Amino acid sequence: MRFLKFFENAPFRLYLGIALVALFVLVGVILPWFAPSDPLTWYTAPRNQNPSATYLLGTTSLGQDIFWLLTWALRNSLILGLTVAFFSTVIGVFLGLAAGYAGGWVDRVLSFLMDALLCIPTLPILILMAALFGGQLALPIIGIALALFNWPYPARQVRAVALTMREREFINVAWFSGESSVRILVRHIFPYIAGWSAANFINTVLVGISTESALAVIGLSSAQQATLGTMIYWAINYQALLAERYIWVGAPVVAIVLMFIGLFLVSSGLSMQSAARRMSV
Amino acid sequence: MRLLRYIAGRLVVYLLVVVFGLTVLFFVPRLGPTDPIEAMLAKVASQGAYMDASQVDRLRESLADTFGLSGTLLEQYWAFIKRILLTGDFGPSLSMYPTPVMELIMNALPWTFGLLLTSTLIAWVLGNFVGLLSGWKPEGTSSRVMEGIAICLYPIPYYILALVLSILFSYVWKIFPLTTTIRGAPWSWDLVTSILWNSFLPGASIVIVVFGWWVISVKAQTTAIKEEEFVRYARLKGLGDGRILTHYVLPNAILPQITFLALQIGLMFNGSLITEILFDYPGLGLLIYSAVLQGDFNLLMGTISLSVIAVATATMVIDLIYPLIDPRIRHR
């Protein structure tokens, strides 16, 4: 089991992070199916309840069950983060390899594109889009935009690896022994970028959820879907703070903080582990 | 001569990046399913302003002009780039007519830069200090505790921390103001204290997160560097811990962080925008937000173009000064 071998002597933070993230994924993926009713609908529960056995985290002043609302928000935020990370990683790895291998003007154009995209702040552009497209952005559009802005991070790293790989002896050996370039990519180069790509993937999940939430907190994300950010926005907008209903706003805040700490532990643990393994090989 | 060529090359890239960013901004309004002009008109009408048909027509025309929607796509594009890069003219603000957008931006920029620069500097000094000490004795209890705290602080988004701080210190324990109100005559002591008092929470939210990062990364650097040969040599020479730390480890631990700063400026800028909105802090973020709320397209396009230019400029400045601080890097 080559996959399991990766986790031998892994740092403690990796396990802690995986446990935290797994907890949130379970809550976000499995629990929403058991919600007694659509938690977004108003007045499905009595208003302004304190936490109790029936309403684990109490209810909002709009008569929504905060616990079930939170599970739905988690699910949507996770879906968004994972989609953004998936597409950025795929585009990034592909274009990074292309730039590193092709060299010449392809490399120059792609590298410029990466550098340029890296120093364009994403949030203002999303705000502009939201303002122009009717005050709110649907989640799929936010996802596409974020993927378009986040692929340069993996692409730069993969390009750097591809550049050094071109010069390595064992790649030449593989070439001359007649292996196809696809096989070389998969068998010899992919192991070098896999650990780092996984770390970057997790990090992009974090950035995706964080940016959507930032947009949502100021009310510019989708109002039809609950995400962690829109939950905070609703709480602030319906004066949860002035009414001292801190659980309403506190639940998504605590969820974001814990989940992000978990994601960060996984991503930094993964990169520590793959760096350590590269040293030992 | 080499230095000049390096700077010139970097400037060309910078210009290209800015043009690229503005190109993205130019095409965003054209990608949407809705006609931005009609959306703006609806927004203005929904705010209860009464206009007769000829006024609406005139507004539509002037909007088409400011959106740059007259002429072919190529002409529009060229006019847009030229107007921003050569004249820095974003037209008048629609919600605060006829104040030029540029004037509003110039009033807001010092606040944003002041907030970001001050808090980054404070976080830098604190983070380097703590990171260096905990990297020197990485197995000690206090150093492990410090790293644990840093790991818990760093992943928190700025605006979440801003929210938490404002709940704790403005709602629950009412010591800091809820929204920013600056008082006092110009250049008076009252004004200074008022600014400091109002900037404390927004600044703290940025300081805490950035501090977390510096501790993590400087600690890792220090732990690696103190095993290097030149540090062992210094120790054999009989130098004290203090001198080894400040003269041998510190310079080598700090430098790699600067490249990180260049990559993070965009993210920090994003974060500070939301922080400003949450605290009603009169910077660029609040200006963008009020432009969105009031449907002020000129102000929106101006503030966002300027955000892109500001971040690109900051990245370039860091890139340019990095080789000046690090003697090991030579200009190619």
CATH of the domain at A207: 1.10.3720.10
- A76 min Cα distance to partner chain B (Å): 18
Give the span between the Cα atoms of B56 and B48, in whole angstroms: 13
* Percent of all residues in chain B with a pLDDT value above 70, rounded to a whole number: 88
**Does residue A40 form part of some domain?**
yes
* In a shared domain, residues B83 and B120: no
Name the β-bridge partners of A65.
A59
The whole-number pLDDT of residue B74 equals 81
The whole-number pLDDT of residue B143 equals 85
Number of structural domains found in chain A: 1
Question: Are B292 and B304 in contact, with CB atoms under 8 Å apart?
Answer: no
Give the span between the Cα atoms of B276 and B158, in whole angstroms: 10
Parent domain of B159? 105-319
From chain B, the residues in CB contact with A220 under 8 A are 292
Taking CA–CA distances from B286, the nearest residue in chain A reads A218
* In a shared domain, residues B77 and B197: no
The whole-number pLDDT of residue A75 equals 92
What does the DSSP assignment read for B173-239? STTS-SS----S-TTSHHHHHHHHHHHHHHHHHHHHHHHHHHHHHHHHHHHHHTTSHHHHHHHHTT-
**For A172, phi and psi rounded to 5 degrees?**
-60, -45
Give the span between the Cα atoms of A60 and A72, in whole angstroms: 15
**Does residue B286 form part of some domain?**
yes
* In a shared domain, residues B207 and B141: yes
Choose from B160, B178, B215, B219 for mutation: most chain A CBs within 10 A: B160
**Does residue B148 form part of some domain?**
yes
* Percent of all residues in chain B with a pLDDT value above 90, rounded to a whole number: 3
Taking CA–CA distances from A130, the nearest residue in chain B reads B292
Joined tokens for residue A1: 């089991």
- Per residue in B79-108, pLDDT (tens digit) is 888 888 887 777 777 777 678 888 898 888
Is residue B331 over pLDDT 80? Answer: no
The whole-number pLDDT of residue A83 equals 95
Decide which of B70 and A98 is more confident: A98
From chain A, the residues in CB contact with B311 under 8 A are 119-121
* In a shared domain, residues B185 and B268: yes
The whole-number pLDDT of residue B332 equals 46
Joined tokens for residue B11: 């400037």
From chain A, the residues in CB contact with B263 under 8 A are 118
The whole-number pLDDT of residue A262 equals 93
Joined tokens for residue A267: 């991503």
Q: Which residues lie below 8 Å from residue B145, measured CB to CB, with a gap of 6+?
A: none
**For B100, phi and psi rounded to 5 degrees?**
-65, 145
The whole-number pLDDT of residue A3 equals 60
* In a shared domain, residues B161 and B219: yes
Give the span between the Cα atoms of A137 and B247, in whole angstroms: 52
The whole-number pLDDT of residue A281 equals 45
- B243 min Cα distance to partner chain A (Å): 30
**Does residue A151 form part of some domain?**
yes
Is residue B326 over pLDDT 90? Answer: no
**Does residue B94 form part of some domain?**
no
Q: Which of B87, B118, B133 is the last residue of a domain?
A: B87
- Per residue in B107-141, pLDDT (tens digit) is 888 888 889 888 888 988 898 888 888 888 878 88
Joined tokens for residue B91: 């037209």
**Does residue B324 form part of some domain?**
no
**Does residue A212 form part of some domain?**
yes
**Does residue B98 form part of some domain?**
no
The whole-number pLDDT of residue A88 equals 95
Cβ of residue A13 closer than 8 Å to a chain B Cβ? yes
**Does residue A5 form part of some domain?**
no
* In a shared domain, residues B302 and B224: yes
Give the span between the Cα atoms of A210 and A229, in whole angstroms: 8
Q: Classify burial at A261, counting beta carbons within 10 Å of its beta carbon; exposed 0-12, middle 13-18, buried 19 or more.
A: buried
* In a shared domain, residues B47 and B148: no
Q: Which CATH number is B113's domain given?
A: 1.10.3720.10
From chain A, the residues in CB contact with B20 under 8 A are 113, 116, 120
What does pLDDT average to over chain B? 81
Choose from B205, B221, B292 for mutation: most chain A CBs within 10 A: B292
Under the banding of pLDDT at 50, 70 and 90, the label for residue B184 is low
What integer is the mean pLDDT of B204-209?
89
Question: Is the bond leading into B98 cis (omega within 30 degrees of zero)?
Answer: yes
From chain A, the residues in CB contact with B32 under 8 A are 129, 132-133
Joined tokens for residue A141: 């559009």
Q: Classify burial at B321, counting beta carbons within 10 Å of its beta carbon; exposed 0-12, middle 13-18, buried 19 or more.
A: exposed
* In a shared domain, residues B167 and B81: no
Number of structural domains found in chain B: 2
* Number of other CB atoms surrounding residue B106 within 10 Å: 11
Distance of alpha carbon B146 from the chain centroid: 27
Parent domain of A20? 11-280
* In a shared domain, residues B46 and B114: no
Q: In the block, which residue shows the tokens 């008076």?
A: B188
* In a shared domain, residues B120 and B81: no
pLDDT by residue for chain A (281 residues), tens digit each? 456 666 667 778 888 999 999 999 998 888 888 877 777 777 777 777 778 777 777 777 777 888 888 999 999 999 999 999 999 999 998 899 888 877 788 898 999 999 888 878 888 899 988 888 777 888 888 999 999 999 998 898 888 888 877 777 887 888 788 888 778 777 777 777 787 888 889 999 999 999 999 999 888 888 788 899 999 998 888 877 777 788 888 899 999 999 999 999 998 888 887 777 665 54
What integer is the mean pLDDT of B279-306?
87
* In a shared domain, residues B110 and B36: no
**Does residue B304 form part of some domain?**
yes
**Does residue B13 form part of some domain?**
yes
Taking CA–CA distances from A122, the nearest residue in chain B reads B270
**For A65, phi and psi rounded to 5 degrees?**
-80, 115
Distance of alpha carbon A78 from the chain centroid: 7
- B265 min Cα distance to partner chain A (Å): 8
* In a shared domain, residues B219 and B307: yes
Under the banding of pLDDT at 50, 70 and 90, the label for residue B30 is confident
Q: Which range (A261-270, B24-33, B209-218) has the least confidence?
A: B24-33
Cβ of residue A137 closer than 8 Å to a chain B Cβ? no
**Does residue B165 form part of some domain?**
yes
The whole-number pLDDT of residue B166 equals 86
Measuring CA to CA, how many Å separate A271 from each of A118, A200, A277, B50?
Answer: 21, 9, 10, 60
**Does residue A94 form part of some domain?**
yes
Nearest to B170 by CA among A49, A95, A171, A246: A246
